[in-house]
């Protein structure tokens, strides 16, 4: 205890001043006390430099090596690669499967990008949402829509469950409902489709918005999966809380391409057709109107729509004068959905590293062009850099 009191005030003068007599104390004890006292005085000076932080786990630096001085750096996140699925077809709808990289150009926000990856792709898994109109206005056509949807499901899921594709079924009237969640079993989906019945009002926009936000946004890495919505409807909406701009924005956020199949009867003006065209075009898909073919061929089958030829009474048994369509006409629904299914099997994947590569959360629009004449391209319209 006496030694600790002395260590707090070092030096011979201070020892004498304290009046303590060190005579008779063994020499080795005195030297030890002096040494400890000196160390105690130097300790504060040594602490002016903070001790080095412990090495992180996994550090393989050998003992004795001098670690390089710490550097202050800024972490910069960048877009590594943008994948763009592209479908190519002729004006008649036939698929084009022999495009080369040299025939294609890709632009981001109007600036041409260097293509680093180009291949014909058939293996990317699909996540498909099938949205059917079950409102009161769809009642006359619902049975045909159900048959067409069943055949489409068999095509894209390849009966037997051997595909990596998954599909879900959603319906809408005054509200929307997920009738069957994602599955790769066509029999399960077909059973749910056959059970459908028509209901009340019409909230098309809300149904699409819900599908994109609650299903497509949660399906996994966007670069590894293609997201597709198939909307079978006349395009009319009277009850939705969301707008057309909002559903287009949500579809882009979910990187979901929307294909629409119009069901309005031939011979009638339908404002919903324009909505379907705009929706699918803005979301990277395309619209189909299988019930608006030219009337010439239908004259042979006996089908005439209301006001097609003035004064005629042909095919009234099929309800033509009210705008209903005959079974021969509605077979085209099946053809339209099957055409979409085949187009999803054949596509190109274009990859590029964007010149503007910062992850700043902005939306980047994409445009793809081809130098080959007579070929129409459809592609993912853009992405959010986040």
Query: Do 378 and 281 form a contact (C-beta atoms < 8 A)?
Result: no
The HSE-up count of residue 239 (CA atoms within 13 Å, CB side) is: 12
Query: Do 37 and 10 form a contact (C-beta atoms < 8 A)?
Result: yes
Query: Do 141 and 331 form a contact (C-beta atoms < 8 A)?
Result: no
Q: How far is CA 258 from CA 115, 134, 300, in A?
A: 25, 19, 34
Query: Do 334 and 151 form a contact (C-beta atoms < 8 A)?
Result: yes
DSSP, res 17: H
- Quote the crossing angle between the two packed helices 272-282 and 244-253, to the nearest 10°: 30
pLDDT at 77: 67
Q: CA 142, 144, 145, 149 torsion: positive or negative?
A: positive
Q: Residue 130: CB partners within 8 Å, gap ≥ 6?
A: 149, 152, 153, 167, 168, 169, 170, 189, 230, 232
pLDDT at 139: 86
Q: Phi and psi for 171 in degrees, rounded to 5?
A: -125, 165
Query: Do 31 and 3 form a contact (C-beta atoms < 8 A)?
Result: no
- Name which CATH class applies to 126-343: alpha beta
* Segment (H or E) for 384: strand 382-384
Q: Residue 351: CB partners within 8 Å, gap ≥ 6?
A: 81, 82, 83, 84, 115, 116, 117, 118
As a whole number of angstroms, the longest Cα–Cα distance in the chain is 139
Model pTM score: 0.69
The Cα 330–Cα 142 span in angstroms is: 10
Please state whether beta strands 115-121 and 111-113 pair in parallel, antiparallel, or not at all (unpaired). Answer: unpaired
pLDDT in tens, 146-161: 999 999 999 888 755 5
Average pLDDT over every residue of 184-213: 93
pLDDT in tens, 228-253: 999 999 999 999 999 999 999 999 99
pLDDT in tens, 210-230: 999 999 998 877 777 889 999
3-state helix, strand, coil in the chain (%, to 5): 35, 25, 40
pLDDT in tens, 61-101: 444 445 555 555 555 567 788 989 898 988 877 888 899 99
The tokens of 138 are what?
């769809």
pLDDT in tens, 311-351: 333 444 444 444 444 555 667 888 888 888 888 877 898 99
């Amino acid at each position: 205890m006496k030694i600790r009191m002395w260590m707090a005030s070092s030096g011979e003068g201070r020892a004498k001043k304290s009046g303590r007599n060190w005579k008779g104390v063994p020499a080795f004890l005195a030297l030890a006390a002096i040494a400890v006292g000196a160390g105690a005085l130097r300790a504060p000076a040594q602490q002016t430099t903070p001790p080095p932080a412990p090495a992180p786990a996994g550090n393989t630096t050998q003992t004795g090596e001098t670690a390089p001085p710490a550097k202050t750096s800024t972490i910069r996140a960048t877009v590594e690669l943008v994948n763009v699925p592209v479908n190519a077809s002729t004006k008649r709808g036939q698929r084009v499967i022999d495009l080369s990289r040299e025939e294609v150009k890709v632009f981001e926000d109007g600036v041409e990008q260097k293509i680093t990856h180009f291949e014909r792709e058939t293996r990317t898994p699909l996540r498909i949402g099938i949205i059917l109109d079950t409102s009161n206005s769809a009642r006359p056509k619902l049975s045909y829509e159900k048959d067409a949807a069943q055949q489409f499901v068999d095509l894209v899921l390849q009966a037997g469950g051997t595909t990596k594709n998954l599909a879900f079924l959603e319906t809408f009237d005054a509200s929307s409902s997920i009738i069957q969640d994602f599955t790769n079993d066509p029999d399960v989906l077909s059973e749910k489709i056959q059970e459908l019945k028509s209901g009340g009002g019409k909230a098309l926009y809300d149904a699409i918005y819900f599908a994109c936000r609650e299903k497509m946004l949660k399906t996994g890495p966007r670069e590894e999966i293609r997201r597709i919505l198939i909307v079978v409807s006349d395009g009319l909406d009277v009850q939705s809380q969301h707008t057309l701009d909002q559903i287009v924005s949500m579809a882009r956020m979910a990187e979901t391409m929307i294909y629409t199949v119009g069901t309005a009867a031939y011979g009638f003006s339908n404002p919903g057709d324009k909505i379907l065209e705009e929706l699918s075009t803005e979301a990277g898909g395309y619209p189909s109107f299988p019930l608006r073919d030219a009337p010439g061929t239908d004259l042979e089958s006996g089908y005439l729509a209301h006001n097609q030829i003035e004064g005629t009474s042909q095919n009234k048994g099929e309800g033509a004068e009210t705008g209903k369509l005959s079974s021969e006409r509605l077979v085209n629904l099946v053809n339209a959905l099957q055409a979409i299914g085949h187009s999803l099997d054949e596509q190109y994947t274009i990859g590029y590293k964007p010149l503007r590569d910062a992850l700043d959360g902005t939306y980047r629009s994409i445009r793809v062009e081809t130098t080959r004449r007579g070929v129409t391209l459809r592609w993912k319209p853009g992405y959010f850099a986040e």
